[in-house]
């Protein structure tokens, strides 16, 4: 049994974290139901689960279900998205090994991911594939790798990395993002609402009448565009895929190339799942006073080193807003330091949506814990029975008025 180590901002914040969790728990009926089942069936008895997922209240309520199922847990989050009070509550009240701070740097994040793996988990639940990359490509973790019997991966970007950057799988990974339930309900509706909410909350700006550009019209981009339009914004879509641009046009949006639309956009949002969607040359084209934010998994969608090179001065002007004075005389505002704006400047996806997403995670992890021997190594989709089961339970909860 590894030592009980952790790294959080301040354990004295635990009571605030517990209060946040109370509000959320009452609105997560599907995960609550799974917790009751896990208390009886104990699918994770004697197992350790190593997790990389935003350390915030919805995740914490999900961890109650996993610990009720017998799991010991070590978790890290992502830069900019940790709720320090929730991290404190998990350590102080639930004896979860947490390695996460709201203001951690990317290098610290990688160090924290390594510390999660060092606890030698049986299962991993990943978000962006950082735990996978360490376990499967770094010789220092060969011992940890040999203990892992299965994994999940939450995101679009993580799914790309698993399929493009990693070979030599030794365990099965269920990619939660491959489910229709996640892509439609979470990515489209959840991300759509929460990204626009994060922008409004941290800036107090009016969306109506703004010229907005969404870069990437996948599941998330479609949702963001839909909510922006609903609030009266003019929305232009930029996407590298011609069929996707045609789809956006048919949906009634303007479509354009980046260089055409950036000089007139008030608000620009990247959500492609790929690095370098906005490069240095694009940044120089932005309109004076433009707001820039990222809703994708990693801040690398925006060329931040390029932005710094173009700027003679940069400083925070509000908690989640940075101001950059460019050498060309323009001023650009960057929200949430280019971390996912719905998490860094808001509370992340809506509670009900994450109830569904974390139910998919729960049943997928239980499926791995009990049935990993019959699954092939490598990335794979969520079993259809699990997806259907979660859809049935969620619809029942939402239509019966159950909180």
Can you give the binding site for ligand NAD, defined by CB under 6 A? 155-157, 187, 191, 215-221, 238-241, 244, 271-274, 277, 295-297, 340, 342, 349
Q: Minimum distance from CB of 315 to ligand NAD (Å)? A: 25
Short-list 342, 340, 344, 343, CA closest to 318: 344
Q: Minimum distance from CB of 184 to ligand NAD (Å)? A: 10
Q: Minimum distance from CB of 58 to ligand NAD (Å)? A: 11
* Token reading at 261: 């639309």
Q: Minimum distance from CB of 332 to ligand NAD (Å)? A: 19
Q: Minimum distance from CB of 156 to ligand NAD (Å)? A: 4
Nearest position to ligand NAD, beta carbon: 218
Q: Minimum distance from CB of 368 to ligand NAD (Å)? A: 21
Complex with ligand NAD: residue 91 or 343, whichever CB lies closer:
343
Complex with ligand NAD: residue 168 or 305, whichever CB lies closer:
305
Q: Minimum distance from CB of 386 to ligand NAD (Å)? A: 19
């Amino acid at each position: 049994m590894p030592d009980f180590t952790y790294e959080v901002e301040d354990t004295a914040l635990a009571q605030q974290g517990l209060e946040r969790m109370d509000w959320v728990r009452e609105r997560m009926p599907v995960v609550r139901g799974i917790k009751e089942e896990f208390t009886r069936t104990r699918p994770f008895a004697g197992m350790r689960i190593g997790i990389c997922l935003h350390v915030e209240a919805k995740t914490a309520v999900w961890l109650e279900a996993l610990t009720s199922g017998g799991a010991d847990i070590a978790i890290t989050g992502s830069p900019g998205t940790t709720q320090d009070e929730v991290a404190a509550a998990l350590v102080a009240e639930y004896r979860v090994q947490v390695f996460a701070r709201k203001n951690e740097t990317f290098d610290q994040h990688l160090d924290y991911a390594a510390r999660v793996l060092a606890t030698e988990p049986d299962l991993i639940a990943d978000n962006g594939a950082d735990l996978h990359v360490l376990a499967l490509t770094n010789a220092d973790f060969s011992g940890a790798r040999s203990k892992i019997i299965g994994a999940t991966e939450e995101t679009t970007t993580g799914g790309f990395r698993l399929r493009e950057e990693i070979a030599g799988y030794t365990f099965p990974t269920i990619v939660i993002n491959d489910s229709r339930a996640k892509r439609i309900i979470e990515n489209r509706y959840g991300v759509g609402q929460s990204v626009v909410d994060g922008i409004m909350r941290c800036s107090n700006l009016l969306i109506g009448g703004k010229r907005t550009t969404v870069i990437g019209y996948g599941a998330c981009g479609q949702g963001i565009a839909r909510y922006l339009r609903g609030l009266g914004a003019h929305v232009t879509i930029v996407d590298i895929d011609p069929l996707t641009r045609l789809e956006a046009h048919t949906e009634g949006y303007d479509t354009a190339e980046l260089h055409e639309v950036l000089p007139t956009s008030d608000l620009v949002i990247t959500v492609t799942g790929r690095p370098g969607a906005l490069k240095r040359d694009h940044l120089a084209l932005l309109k004076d006073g433009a707001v820039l934010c990222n809703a994708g998994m990693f801040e690398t969608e925006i060329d931040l080193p390029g932005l710094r090179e173009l700027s003679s001065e940069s400083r925070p002007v509000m908690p989640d807003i940075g101001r950059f004075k460019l050498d060309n005389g323009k001023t650009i505002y960057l929200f949430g330091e280019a971390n996912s704006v719905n998490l860094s400047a808001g509370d992340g996806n809506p509670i009900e949506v994450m109830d569904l997403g974390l139910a998919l995670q729960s049943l997928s992890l239980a499926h791995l814990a009990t049935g990993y021997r019959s699954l092939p190594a490598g990335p794979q989709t969520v079993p259809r029975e699990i997806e259907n089961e979660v859809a049935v339970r969620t619809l029942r909860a939402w239509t019966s008025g159950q909180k």
